[in-house]
Structure 1
Amino acid sequence: MTVLANRESQLLIDGKLVAGSGGSFETVNPATEEVLGVAADATADDMGRAIEAARRAFDETDWSTDTDLRVRCLRQLQAALKEHIEELREITIGEVGAPRMLTSAAQLEGPVDDLSFCADTAESYEWNTDLGVASPMGIKTRRRLAREAVGVVGAITPWNFPHQINLAKIGPALAAGNTIVLKPAPDTPWCAAAVGELIAEHTDIPPGVVNIVTSSDHGVGALLSKDPRVDMVSFTGSTATGRSVMADGAATIKKVFLELGGKSAFLVLDDADLAAACSMSAFTASMHAGQGCAITTRLVVPRARYDEAVEAAAATMGGLKPGDPQDAGTICGPLISARQRDRVQGYLDSAIDEGGKFAVGGGRPADRDTGFFIEPTVIAGLDNDAKVSREEIFGPVLTVIAHDGDDDAVRIANDSAYGLSGTVFSADEERANRVAARMRVGTVNINGGVWYSADMPFGGYKQSGLGREMGLAGFEEYLEIKAIATAV
């Protein structure tokens, strides 16, 4: 792998590192606004060649049936990623704007470690299940179930946690026996391309099994949903784009996995340690500048202690100044782009227009002339009908909403188009569990519990998506079930 400065990445198509037919496009450091280097810019023709390579590798090789090969290749990939972890760390901090501390967790090292789960699962998985002999319709029959790879997987990924999301698709898709074409976000092409380099140079993954296609054109990624040679699309991103992926895939009745947006609620019950809960909520909402789909951005607190809750959240957020992601102590780095910074500012302006106020923050930090930074912001004085309470902002913004008891808190939490995650804080664990059981979400954190883990499925209800990523459920998303009946 080359050094970070003036890097020039390539596509991985059919086992070869190649230039993009569209030339190259720049990737920018969001903390400094400086151009880091360039990435290969793929065209529709490049994507077509990648899909054809993946189709051929699935149809004409034994990749889908050779479990030992797949396990060995996944372990080789993990070893290569670990060997080059410091280079990958610098790419991630520079290109994503990810705080250095997060690269020891979900931004890099966590996803790399999680590849062990994929390899271990493939190694021990019950690919065939004997259902024994029965006599349906009076015919004596031996029945079994075979679990097989779906085929060619098209993976489309966002920019906020690129290694986490890229590897959460590549790992289980390969472990299950599929071939894959990955189209990463144009904001973070290097993170994906670096994985492609390591695959080409340090693993025995056969040509065509993994293809990585970077492009400045979102339309190139959309081809994965439309092409009949692709059997499944695995998409992570906005709900609006997810709808388009689903509609495009409908023409060929593709299997579609969608991990979409969130507007998650952090519920503080009236017996909880209010200051501790609100401080944790503020910290979570500021981490990586709030650029996480499962971050709880609605802090729902007892009405009688509303002002106290706002003050506690503001005290924490006020101390989390936006900082250089290279610094070990930075929690809140930059937003990914000027476009995203302006989008977040638009939401902040709308909060004032609707009668809200900023307890802290509210705009660009006065001491930073460059970089796509927004101050961690606490919005008070609005209810759950406000725009900032309804829509996913993807910035370090926390809206504090009053509730009138447990039933009302649950009502507010569920009064959303989304259902990705949630948090409940209470001194009574049984009470907290009763509340959690009523929340229409895919993951719940009770009193600071951590649901992020390789063996835990992640996904949402309602417009937060379809299916689950990670865990055994995430592995099985990439499988088909075949029922086989033999007369005896």
Structure 2
Amino acid sequence: MSANKAHHYINGEWLADAPNGFCDSINPATGDVIGSAPNGSVSLAEQAVTAARDAFETSEWASNPRLRAKVLLDFANRLEANKDRIATLMATENGKVLTQAKHEVAAGFGEARYYAGVARNVFGRTYESGPGKMSLMTREPSGVVSVIVPWNAPVTLLVRSIAPALAAGCTVVIKPAPQTPFTNAAVMECFAALDALPKGVVNSVNEYGTEVGTVLSTHPEIDVISFTGSSRTGKIIMANAADTVKHVSLELGGKAPAIVFDDADLDTAVAEIKRGSLALNGQMCTCVSRILVQDSVYDTMKDRMAEAYEKVRTGDPMTDGVELGPLIDRPNQERILGIIERADVEANMVVRGEAPKGDLAQGCYVTPTMFEIDDVSSDLVQDELFGPIVSFERFTDEADALHKANATRYGLAASVYTNELKRAMRMSRKLKFGTVWLNSHNRLLAEVETGGYRESGVGRLHGIEAMNDFLETKHVYYEAEN
């Protein structure tokens, strides 16, 4: 593969085909061009699907769990060996603070190792329904999986889909985000270096439009779609999948509330909420986007959060000590600045974010914003804003906190801050979110399932239940002769 081209990877080969031209990858911190990647096409997508189908049907991949475990372990080792280079690529392509990028790569090879173990532990069961009557329930790989990955966490969000899919015995076709083709290509290089991996098991096709994504959500040879991204796009993919009744695994948008009770440790709450709201520069579906505070500590918490946000160090994500890097691109910077203008009119601005001047002006930076609001029906509360911007809201008691926290169409993640265990457990039971953290935020583990309620998604990733999206249960019935 050329050093400055992030090519497609199909059937074990690097392809520079660019029927729809090349597209530049831009460093959001500087505006500089990193390099160019070929744009895919319907033909390339179909070629990748065919390679994946052939590998599934003709190689030993689907029926050899020890091979799958070896490949995943070898991949994890390759990923770890290249961790610094890949983290640097990620920070350069999507603006993630380098320390966070390094953590993400480590989570990626940790997840691959977890599923290497799971690959050798996929068991069925038996049932004897009567004399000489035996039922065997086997667990078989679903087939070919399309994996559509966003730009904000291009390593972990890729590995958390492909690792359980590969562990189950499926083959995959990946569509990386157009903003992070070099990070994806570096991960693909880790697969390409594995002699034990059959050709066609892992494929990747770049895209800067909709052609490849449409193929990967409609092609009759695709059995499962694993998508992470916006709820709007997820609904389109779900509709596309309906004609061929594909299984879909969707992790979509979020509007995560952090609920702070009057008995909470405010030092912990401030630190966790600040970190949880600024992860990936606020561009993460599980980021804290709403801060709900009990009225007796409301003013104290508001002052402390305002001070914390005003002290955030914004700058080049490659610089030590920087807490907040740039947004992914100029359109998103302009979008967030527009939301701040609206909030300044429709709410009470506590900390007003801005695009920094001086040395940072060439990048897509926006400093943190926090605004007070009482109207839970406002778009500022209802919509996923996807940036370093949070609402600050008041509640009176548990019932009020639950009503307000649950008052959006999203249900991906939430956190609760209290020193009363019974209250914490009551809240976690009644909050309509797939993950509830207690006195912490954004603790994501390979071993533990994540996923959303309502418009935040379908299915689960991470943990043993992630395998369910990529396995079918088959009933084999045997009846002995009398």
Q: Give the structure-2-normalised TM-score.
A: 0.96
Task: Compute the displacement of 1:451 (Å).
Answer: 3.8
Please name the residue that 1:129 is paired with: 125
Please name the residue that 2:18 is paired with: 21
Task: Compute the displacement of 1:285 (Å).
Answer: 0.8
CA distance in 2, matches of 1:17, 1:405: 59
Please name the residue that 1:472 is paired with: 464
**SS of alignment partner, residue 280 of structure 1:** helix
Pairing 1:187-266 to 2, within 5 Å after superposition = 187-266=179-258
- Change in 2 beyond 3 A, CA 1:240/1:449: closer
After superposition, the C-alpha distances for 1:148-172 in whole angstroms (9 at most, x for unaligned) are 0010001111000010111111111
Stretch deviating more after TM superposition (187-196 or 404-413): 187-196
Stretch deviating more after TM superposition (452-461 or 322-331): 322-331
Please name the residue that 2:28 is paired with: 30
Contact 2:273–2:441, Cα closer than 8 Å, also in 1: no
CA distance in 1, matches of 2:301, 2:77: 46
CA distance in 2, matches of 1:147, 1:337: 43
Please name the residue that 1:75 is paired with: 73
CA distance in 2, matches of 1:277, 1:372: 29
Please name the residue that 1:297 is paired with: 289
Contact 1:275–1:312, Cα closer than 8 Å, also in 2: no
Contact 2:276–2:441, Cα closer than 8 Å, also in 1: no
Please name the residue that 2:147 is paired with: 155
Task: Compute the displacement of 1:197 (Å).
Answer: 2.0
Please name the residue that 1:358 is paired with: 349
CA distance in 1, matches of 2:195, 2:414: 39
Please, which of 286, 303, 316 is the counterpart of residue 311 of structure 1?
303
Task: Compute the displacement of 1:350 (Å).
Answer: 1.9
CA distance in 2, matches of 1:42, 1:222: 12
Please name the residue that 1:280 is paired with: 272
Stretch deviating more after TM superposition (81-90 or 246-255): 81-90
Equivalent position amino acid for 1:397 in 2:
I
Contact 2:272–2:441, Cα closer than 8 Å, also in 1: no
1:65 counterpart = 2:57: no
Contact 2:257–2:291, Cα closer than 8 Å, also in 1: yes
**SS of alignment partner, residue 267 of structure 1:** strand
Please name the residue that 1:325 is paired with: 317
Please, which of 161, 170, 191 is the counterpart of residue 178 of structure 1?
170
Pairing 1:310-459 to 2, within 5 Å after superposition = 310-354=302-346, 356-367=347-358, 368-448=360-440, 451-459=443-451
CA distance in 2, matches of 1:219, 1:2: 24
After superposition, the C-alpha distances for 1:347-400 in whole angstroms (9 at most, x for unaligned) are 21221231x132223221234211111111111244322222110011011110
**SS of alignment partner, residue 89 of structure 2:** helix
Contact 1:424–1:447, Cα closer than 8 Å, also in 2: yes
Gaps of 5+ in 2: none
Equivalent position amino acid for 1:87 in 2:
R
Contact 1:12–1:196, Cα closer than 8 Å, also in 2: yes
Contact 2:286–2:442, Cα closer than 8 Å, also in 1: no
**SS of alignment partner, residue 477 of structure 1:** helix
Contact 1:347–1:387, Cα closer than 8 Å, also in 2: no
Contact 1:265–1:296, Cα closer than 8 Å, also in 2: yes
Count of matched residue positions in the alignment of Structure 1 and Structure 2? 478
CA distance in 2, matches of 1:162, 1:203: 24
**SS of alignment partner, residue 325 of structure 1:** coil
- Change in 2 beyond 3 A, CA 1:450/1:363: closer
CA distance in 2, matches of 1:24, 1:73: 32
Equivalent position amino acid for 1:13 in 2:
I
Please name the residue that 1:87 is paired with: 85
CA distance in 1, matches of 2:192, 2:73: 14
Task: Compute the displacement of 1:411 (Å).
Answer: 0.7
**SS of alignment partner, residue 8 of structure 1:** coil
Contact 1:286–1:317, Cα closer than 8 Å, also in 2: no
Equivalent position amino acid for 2:216 in 1:
L
Equivalent position amino acid for 2:129 in 1:
A
Contact 1:270–1:405, Cα closer than 8 Å, also in 2: no
CA distance in 2, matches of 1:362, 1:388: 15
Task: Compute the displacement of 1:449 (Å).
Answer: 6.5
Contact 2:449–2:466, Cα closer than 8 Å, also in 1: yes
Stretch deviating more after TM superposition (461-470 or 140-149): 140-149
Equivalent position amino acid for 1:255 in 2:
H
- Change in 2 beyond 3 A, CA 1:203/1:378: farther
- Change in 2 beyond 3 A, CA 1:385/1:450: closer
After superposition, the C-alpha distances for 1:86-113 in whole angstroms (9 at most, x for unaligned) are 21121111112111111232x2111112
Please name the residue that 2:134 is paired with: 142
CA distance in 2, matches of 1:206, 1:80: 17
1:119 counterpart = 2:111: no
- Change in 2 beyond 3 A, CA 1:277/1:383: farther
CA distance in 1, matches of 2:121, 2:369: 47
CA distance in 2, matches of 1:335, 1:449: 21
CA distance in 2, matches of 1:470, 1:191: 21
Contact 2:71–2:194, Cα closer than 8 Å, also in 1: no
Identical aligned residues as a percent: 32
Contact 1:17–1:197, Cα closer than 8 Å, also in 2: no
